[in-house]
Structure 1
Amino acid sequence: MIVVSDTSALSNLAIIDHLWLLKAIYQTVIIPTVVADELAAASNLKISATLQLDWIHPQLLVNTQLANQLQRDRGLDAGEANAIALALELQANDLLIDERLGRQEALRLGLSIIGILGILVIAKQRTLIPKVQPIMDALINQAGFRISPQLYHRVLALSQEP
């Protein structure tokens, strides 16, 4: 299974010490070199240390024209645009992306997407974690991750948590 990730998904999970969920679910995560550069430049040591994990593999994007077009015409940032282009190039099973605009573009281009909250639901279903609520709370309080009240409650319902 091939999964490509953008920067924010890895950063947010790194901040709350839950990157291990991605390895447990996917074994390997591929990132564009632009995302690797963004992670390396992070001032938070948990984020920059992500690149030391042997299951996260930076890969050079061949179709830079598409990434540039997504940035220019669709207003995506470099990490999102390169992740989408690399996911298309590799025919990835999933693209790990959370930003609304990036998700919309990925879906428009026919990609299968998943976000951090989807990862948490899968982790709960596979009994990798006992509850999603404390992890969502950590994302909100420690990583500054934004979750609407409606989505928060929907994820709890999907996870069969009160």
Structure 2
Amino acid sequence: MIVVCDTSPITNLAAVGQLNLLQQLYSNIIIPQAVYDEMVNLDYAVPGASEVQTLSWIQHQQVINRTLVTSLLAELDQGEAEAIVLAIELGADLLLLDERRGRKVASRYGLNITGLLGILIEAKHKGLIPTVKPVLDDLILQVGFRVSNKLYADTLQAAGE
């Protein structure tokens, strides 16, 4: 299974000590160079930065179609644009992406997308976490992950909680 990931799922899961869920669910993930750079080339520590540099199951790769990346920059940031283009180039089975604009653009290209909440629901259904609610609450309270009340309730319902 080829899984391409944007920055948000990695940083948010790392911030609440749940980054291992990505490996448990998908074995390996691939991030574009821009996502790698967004995480490691800053003057401050970002959750997950050391992991993307050291964990063998997180690989980073350059995109080839720079023209498509450039055209997507009118709507998206560099990491999102490269994640979408890399998913297209690799024929990815899944793209992990949270931002609404990015998801809309990725849908135009027919990509299969899930975000952080979908990852948590899948992890619960596969028995990797006992409940979604405590992790979701940690994301909101500790990391500032934004989720509407309706989406919060829908997520817990989808998880059977």
Which secondary structure state, in structure 2, belongs to the residue aligned with residue 31 of structure 1? strand
Unaligned 5+ segments in structure 1 are none
1:98 aligns with 2:98: yes
- Structure 2 CA distance, aligned partners of 1:50 and 1:103? 25
Kindly report which structure 2 residues correspond to 1:8-157, keeping only aligned pairs within 5 A, or say none: 8-42=8-42, 43-44=44-45, 46-51=47-52, 52-72=54-74, 75-157=75-157
2:6 alignment partner AA: D
CA RMSD, Structure 1 to Structure 2 (Å): 1.0
Q: Secondary structure at the match of 1:57?
A: strand
Per-residue CA distance 1:78-114 (angstroms, 9 max, x = gap) = 0000000000000100000000000000001110000
2:158 corresponds to which residue?
Answer: 158
Worse-matched range after superposition: 152-161 or 41-50: 41-50
Contact conserved, 1:39 with 1:50, CA < 8 A, in 2?
Answer: no
* C-alpha deviation, 1:14, in angstroms: 1.0
Q: Secondary structure at the match of 1:130?
A: coil
The 8 Å contact of residues 4 and 31 in structure 1, kept in 2 or not, is answered as yes
Match for 2:55: what amino acid?
A: L
Secondary structure of the 1:124 match is helix
If the length of structure 1 is used for normalisation, what is the TM-score?
A: 0.95
Deviation at residue 17 of structure 1 after TM alignment = 1.1
Stretches of structure 2 that go unaligned for 5 or more consecutive residues are none
Distance in 2 between residues matched to 1:92 and 1:55, nearest whole Å: 16
SS in 1 for 2:73: helix
Q: What's the secondary structure of 2:30's corresponding residue?
A: strand
Q: Which amino acid aligns with 1:29?
A: I
Q: How many pairs were matched up? A: 159
Give the Å deviation of 1:45.
5.0
Is residue 32–residue 82 contact of structure 2 (8 Å, CA) maintained in 1? yes
